[in-house]
Amino acid sequence: MLGYVLGKDGNFESFVETLYQKGDHLSDTEVRLLQELITQAQYPGNSVNMAEKLSLTSTELAANLVQLKADGLIDYWGQPAQQLPVPVYH
């Protein structure tokens, strides 16, 4: 599970400014991913398999997210998978 904000701090104004500065240097895949993130930002709480939707491997998706974060266009955080309690038998 991934949570994210547009821009480094969720400030849409800073996001637009950064996009204006870096937009010409984005790959086609990064642009598609960013478009989808913008679309999904309109639907908080919606769950989407982004890799599947964009026809990317998990590794490709991760690399593109890292690059968008490094460019200051998004910030994101992962939610660790919930661990089930280990049964104890007596």
Tokens 């709480």 -> residue: 45
Confidence (pLDDT) at 1? 56
Could you give the angle at the alpha carbon of 14 between the alpha carbons of 56 and 50, nearest 5°? 15
The mean pLDDT values, 10 residues at a time, for the chain of 90 residues are 75 84 88 91 86 94 92 77 49
Provide the pLDDT for residue 7. Answer: 82
Residue with tokens 């992962």: 78
Q: What is the pTM of this model?
A: 0.76
**What pLDDT, on the 0 to 100 scale, is given for residue 40?**
87
Question: Could you tell me which residues come within 8 angstroms of residue 2 by beta carbon, excluding any fewer than 6 positions away?
Answer: 50, 65, 76, 77, 78, 79
Catalogue the E-assigned strands of the chain.
Answer: 2-6, 74-78
Q: First vs last Cα of the chain: how many Å apart? A: 35
The predicted pLDDT at position 90 comes to 45
